[in-house]
Structures are given as C-alpha cells and as structure tokens.
C-alpha cells in the first residue's frame, strides 16, 4: 500500500499539539503530510508550510480553500484525510465541511462545543460512510489495552468501584496574562466552550474510564472550581460518578494543583482484583488480587493479551510513552482507512470515533449543568 496523504488544519508555528500530531502520524511510516491550512492568516500558514518543507501550492490560507482545492485535484494527488488540530471552537466547521466534501477526518478533542454540533457530525459520518477518529491518545498505551482486555475477560470480576484523576499545576498562576497562547484560548469561553479543565483534561479522564471498563457513566454530580482570579471557566473539579452497572466512583481534575505535571491515573476495583495505571509511568499496569500477590505487567512481558502486544513497538525494558500511544490512534485509523480504500473487510480497529466525541461533549455539559444546580445528579 502507498502512504496515506494527510492534510492538516491548524498546527502552525508555535503550536504544541500540531507537532505532536505530525510526529505521531509519521511513526509507523503509513502516513505523510501533503498539505495544510496551518493558521488563521495566509501568511502564517505559508510560513509554517515552508518550514515543514511543503510545496507552496499545497499551503492554503484557509480550511475552506484547502478542502475545495484538494477536492479538485486528481485522486492520485489529493489528501485522503484531514487532521484538525485547532482550538476547540474551530473543530466543528472544518470537520463538517471535510465530511460533506468526501474527506475522512481525524479531530482533536473535545469534538465540538455543543451537543447539537456533535450530533450533526455523527449524522454526517453515518450518511457518508466516511471514517472519523478522535485523538484521545491514552487508550493507545499498551498497558491500557491490557487493562481493558483484563476487564473484558473478567479477570478482576464485576467492577464495583472506579477512581480517576487528572491533575496539573501549570495554570496555578495567571499564565493567560503572560502571553501564553495555550492558556489564553483555554480560559476564553468563545474558544474553549462551556468547560475549561473539563474540556481540556476531563474529557481524557472520562474517555479512559469508559474505554477500560467498557461501560458508560450513567450519572454524575460535579462541584467545579474557578480558582484563578477572573476566570470564568473551571480550572478544578471534583465529580461523583455512577456507572451503568451500579459501580460508584470519583473523578478529580485540576489545572491549579501546584507541583503536578501530568498526573493522570486510573484505578478500577473489581470483586476479584484491581487495576491501577499511571500516565507518568505508562509502562506499568499494577494489579492486586484477593488470593495472590500483587503483579505488575509491562509491555512485551509475560501474561499479556494480544491487544497489548499489538500496541507495543520496541523490546522489553525500553520506555514507551505519550508519542507512541498517540501514534497507535493514527496507526489503527490508517489500517482502517487502507481497508476502506481497498474495499477490504476487516474488524474495526481500536480507535476513538465520533461516538466517543459525543460522549465527551455530553460529559462536559452534564458536569457544568450539575455544578450550576449545586452538584445535583445529572443523567448522561
């Protein structure tokens, strides 16, 4: 198979996540960047494209121009899919236009600002038959795959309790007032949406919980904090959770927890055992049991399920982390897209889809609604 051709919207000079997407997409040699609308201005987009060694005629001044001009190219040249790596408020319009013009989509999270927009994208995916991937990268970790497989195989029995935390400290001061572009748009409701930390890191926590357990959060009760002076959006959250099987749990989110870098961790407690995974030490899955000693699984180690082995690229004892997990989203999407293009029937690969996008947007809005009602229980 040839390499798949990727176009990018956003991710120009100074972008953090755009560079992450490009590196992750390139790791397995299945995807190449061929074009982009990298900025809100044509000059910056062209400069970014040149820095990425793209031809000038494939560097576009807007996403509208890129989609229409790429569509007009021969099938042997045009992009196969578009990666949307913009701030939150710029996800919906380019995703909608790409789908309407026959292009597959990879989109950063949260998928849209509103539930109504999310459902429009779902309807478009269903009516066009095109592929849509959402870049929740943490499920790409081999040890997260192992945790999910252990739950599916009932190794730990019926789930009784869940705990998930995502703690950062980078917004403990008013960084948005210090020319920090990443902070500035995240505290702006017109760009971030109704959720602050909820949309930025809370959607990751919610997605990972539903991914590993294979269950949906049925209800939540949220107490949101706005600690930073003058901030409208949440930068801290404590949430009670009820899962669809009756299990209960907690979610703790913060971007003002001084000293924390990216303390994302999850614990799943079943009737026979428990699972614990930490993003800052992603190569270990800690398991504890009623009737046997604690055991720690590692990539390519003994006792792994095929799902975990398939997600690992390097020999035992070598660290795999954030980029490799991110790359697994792109790899599995590329496998599916190659099958789509060659009309090959395969089992749907393991990557977040438009349905996960809807769940994430519903989570944000449910938590905000709960907080507005003094932490009332809200159905999801």
β-pairing, 31-37 vs 281-289, is unpaired
Task: Evaluate the CA torsion angle 54, 55, 61, 64 in order and state its sign.
Answer: negative
Whether 235 and 257 have beta carbons less than 8 Å apart is answered as no
The pLDDT value given to residue 2: 93
Q: So what's the pLDDT on residue 210?
A: 98
pLDDT score for 162: 98
Beta carbons of 166 and 270 less than 8 angstroms apart: no
Q: Are 178 and 343 in contact (CB under 8 A)?
A: no
What pLDDT is stored for residue 356 in this prediction?
A: 98
The DSSP code for 198 is I
Whole-number pLDDT of residue 254: 98
**Tokens encoding 67:** 């989609």
Name all domains of the chain by residue range, CATH numbers in brackets: 4-130 (3.40.50.720), 140-315+359-379 (3.30.360.10)
pTM value > 0.85: yes
Q: What's the confidence (pLDDT) of residue 230?
A: 92
Q: Report whether 370 contacts 124 (CB < 8 A).
A: no
Calpha distance 323→290 (Å, rounded): 35
- Per DSSP, the three-state class of 343 is coil
Phi first, then psi: give them for residue 349, nearest 5 degrees.
Answer: -65, 170
Q: Are 150 and 156 in contact (CB under 8 A)?
A: yes
CA distance 224 to 211: 24
pLDDT in tens, 95-115: 999 999 999 999 999 999 999
**Residue 6 β-bridge partners:** 33, 81
Alpha carbon distance 255, 353 (integer Å): 26
Instruction: Spell out the alpha helix ranges (H) of the chain.
Output: 16-26, 42-51, 63-72, 92-100, 115-128, 142-152, 181-186, 189-192, 197, 203-213, 306-310, 322-341, 354-372
pLDDT in tens, 194-213: 999 999 999 999 999 999 99
Cβ count near 232 (within 10 Å): 12
What residues in the chain have per-residue pLDDT under 50? none
């Amino acid at each position: 198979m040839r390499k798949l051709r990727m176009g990018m919207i956003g991710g120009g000079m100074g972008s953090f996540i755009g560079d992450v997407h490009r590196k992750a997409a390139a790791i397995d040699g299945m995807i190449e960047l061929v074009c982009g609308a990298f900025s809100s201005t044509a000059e910056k987009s062209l400069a970014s494209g040149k820095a990425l060694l793209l031809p000038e005629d494939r560097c576009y001044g807007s996403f509208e121009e890129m989609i229409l001009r790429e569509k007009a190219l021969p099938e042997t040249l045009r992009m196969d899919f578009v990666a949307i790596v913009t701030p939150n408020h710029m996800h919906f319009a380019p995703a909608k236009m790409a789908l309407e013009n026959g292009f597959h989509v990879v989109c950063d999270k949260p998928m849209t600002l509103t539930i109504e927009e999310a459902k429009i994208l779902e309807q478009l995916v269903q009516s066009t038959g095109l592929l849509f991937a959402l870049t929740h990268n943490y499920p790409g970790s081999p040890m997260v795959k192992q945790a999910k497989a252990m739950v599916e195989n009932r190794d730990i029995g019926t789930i009784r309790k869940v705990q998930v935390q995502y703690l950062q400290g980078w917004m403990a001061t008013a960084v948005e007032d210090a020319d920090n572009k990443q902070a500035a748009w995240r505290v702006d409701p017109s760009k971030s949406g109704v959720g602050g930390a909820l949309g930025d890191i809370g959607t990751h926590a919610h997605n990972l919980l539903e991914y590993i357990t294979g269950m949906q959060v049925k209800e939540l009760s949220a107490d949101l904090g706005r600690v930073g002076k003058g901030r409208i959006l949440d930068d801290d959250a404590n949430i009670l959770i009820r899962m669809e099987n009756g299990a209960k749990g907690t979610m703790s989110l913060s971007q003002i927890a001084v000293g924390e870098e990216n303390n994302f961790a999850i614990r799943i407690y079943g009737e026979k055992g428990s699972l614990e995974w930490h993003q800052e030490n992603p190569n270990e899955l800690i398991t504890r049991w009623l009737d046997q000693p604690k055991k720690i699984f590692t990539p390519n180690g003994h006792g792994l399920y095929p799902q975990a082995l398939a997600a690992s690229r390097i020999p035992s004892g070598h660290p795999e982390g954030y980029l490799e997990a991110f790359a697994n989203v792109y790899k599995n999407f590329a496998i599916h897209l190659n099958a789509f293009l060659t009309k090959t029937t395969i089992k749907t690969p393991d990557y977040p889809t438009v349905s996960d996008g809807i769940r994430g947007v519903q989570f944000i809005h449910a938590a905000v609604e709960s907080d507005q009602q003094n932490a009332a229980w809200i159905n999801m």
